Each structure stands twice: as C-alpha cells, then as structure tokens.
C-alpha cells in the first residue's frame, strides 16, 4: 500500500474541479426542477381529482420501487429507440429530476397534510379568498413543515448525481474513475472525491439547518 501522494492530488485538482462544476450544475437543475414538480405533484395528489391522483401516486410508487440506475439507462439508452433522443447532459438532468421529484412529491404532500384543517376555517373567518388562503396561509406553513425532509432529498440529489457517471456524464466521480484508469492512483482520487462530496453535503445540510432555524421563529420578522 503506497502512501498518499499529495502532489498528485494537487495536479489532478483542476480536473476534479471541472467534474465538481458539472456535478453542481446537474444537481442544481435537478433540485430546482424537482422542487417545482414536487410542489405541483403534491397539489395534484391532494386535489381530489381521482385520475390525476392515481397517476401521480403510480408515478411516485414506480420511481421509488425501481433501481435508479435502471431508470437512468432506460432514459439514456431506451428512449432514443422510441424517438426521444437527449444529450448525455440532459438525460442526466431528466433522470435525476425524475428520481428526485418522486421523493419531493411525497415530502410536499406530507407538508400539505401537516397544515391543519383549522387554518381553513380561520382564514375563511378572516374573509380570505381561496387563492389568498392557498398562497398566504397554506404555502408558507406547508413549506416550513416539508423543509427538513425536502433538504434530505436535496442532499440525496447531489449524491445521486454520481450515478450519472454510468452513462458517461463527466462529473466528479467520472473524472476520478477516468484518471484512475490512466494513473492507477485509486487511493488519492477516492480520498479527494470523498472529501469533496462530504464538503458539499455538509454545506447544503448546514444551509438547510440555517433556513430551518430562521423559519422556526413563527412571527419573528428579524
């Protein structure tokens, strides 16, 4: 077992940073899209319109009941033969978004369920209209309730972007494995990307805790 070669890590760092950039871009797009889809899906799932409800439930159950890796392969290798061809980048974004939205729908649905029925009566007695009630009462309260689990899924989205190396997206893990194929420096490469992933995860979850703490003061304007 050879000792850790820090000079080599420094040498590989620019490459790793390019990979990290791709990881962050893909994750960011997937996080934004999946949160939007999650919100819409959760509203649809609680809308009371039966066919829509069943469709959303089936989607969530199917995504959660099948391996993510197979979903990626289906989207990247399977869909082109049906005439839907995406680049590696967009396949990655679509696969990651599809996976994360299923979890975000569940998170936001739980958030919506956490808003008590009493709120409805309260806002009706204040004379708020339906849309005012949805936007000013339900949305902030549901977001607050859904935040911890949504943050969990956001962190998992960043981690799961590593799977996209399997279709050849040049992100952090791909860069590391690619360099190992040339230089056989497995220990250095994996140590570096582990540290980078840990930093990403801790930064995001730290940010999540900060937002949570701010929101936990109900009427604190500061």
Partner 1 sequence: MLLLEFQSFLLDGLLNTLFLSSVMIAGGTFFAVIFAVGLSAQTWWLRRPVYGLVECLRDIPLMVTVLMVYFVLPHAGLSFNPFWSSALSVSVWGGANGAHIIRAGLLSVPSGQREAALSSGLRGWKGLFLVIVPQAMPVILPPYVSLVTSLTQASSLGAVLGVNELLRSAQILIEQTTIARGGSPAYLVYGAILVVYFALCWSISALGAKLERHFAKPYQRTNGKTGLAKPAVALQISTT
Among 115, 138, 156, 167, binds partner 1 (CB under 8 A): 156
The two three-digit tokens of residue 106, written as one number: 């569940």
By beta-carbon proximity to partner 1, the closer residue of 66 and 87 is 66
- In the complex, the smallest distance separating the C-beta of residue 100 from partner 1, rounded to whole angstroms, is 9
Helix axes 6-45, 88-114, angle to 10 degrees: 50
- Does residue 162 belong to the site contacting partner 1 (CB under 8 A)? yes
Please name which of 204, 185, 163, 141 lies closest in space to residue 75, comparing C-alpha atoms.
163
Among 1, 118, 131, 213, binds partner 1 (CB under 8 A): 1
- In the complex, the smallest distance separating the C-beta of residue 145 from partner 1, rounded to whole angstroms, is 12
Total H helices, total E strands in the chain? 9, 0
Cα dihedral sign for 130, 131, 132, 136? positive
- Does residue 95 belong to the site contacting partner 1 (CB under 8 A)? no
- In the complex, the smallest distance separating the C-beta of residue 129 from partner 1, rounded to whole angstroms, is 35
Among 17, 36, 122, 186, binds partner 1 (CB under 8 A): 186
**Candidate ranges 32-40, 139-147, 183-191, 209-217; the one touching partner 1 (CB under 8 A):** 183-191
- Does residue 206 belong to the site contacting partner 1 (CB under 8 A)? no
Cα dihedral sign for 111, 100, 28, 173? positive
By beta-carbon proximity to partner 1, the closer residue of 23 and 123 is 23
Burial (CB count <10 Å: 0-12, 13-18, 19+), residue 115: middle
The residues, ordered by sequence, that sit 6+ positions from 216 with a Cβ below 8 Å of its Cβ are 144
- Does residue 55 belong to the site contacting partner 1 (CB under 8 A)? no
């Amino acid at each position: 077992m050879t000792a850790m070669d820090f000079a080599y890590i420094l040498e590989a760092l620019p490459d790793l940073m390019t990979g990290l950039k791709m990881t962050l871009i893909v994750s960011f797009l997937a996080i934004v899209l999946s949160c939007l889809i999650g919100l819409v899906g959760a509203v649809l799932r609680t809308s009371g319109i039966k066919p829509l409800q069943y469709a959303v439930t089936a989607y969530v159950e199917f995504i959660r009941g099948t391996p993510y890796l197979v979903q990626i392969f289906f989207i990247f290798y399977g869909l082109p033969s049906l005439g839907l061809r995406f680049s590696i980048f967009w396949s990655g974004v679509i696969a990651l978004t599809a996976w994360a939205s299923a979890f975000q729908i569940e998170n936001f649905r739980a958030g919506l369920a956490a808003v008590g029925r009493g709120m409805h009566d309260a806002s009706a007695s204040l004379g708020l209209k339906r849309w005012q009630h949805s936007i000013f009462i339900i949305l902030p309260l549901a977001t607050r309730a859904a935040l911890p689990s949504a943050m969990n899924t956001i962190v998992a989205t960043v981690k799961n972007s590593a799977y996209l190396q399997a279709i050849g997206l040049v992100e952090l893990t791909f860069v590391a494995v690619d360099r190992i194929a040339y230089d056989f420096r497995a220990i250095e490469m994996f140590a570096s990307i582990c540290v980078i992933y840990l930093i990403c995860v801790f930064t995001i979850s730290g940010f999540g805790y900060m937002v949570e703490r701010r929101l936990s003061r109900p009427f604190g304007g500061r």
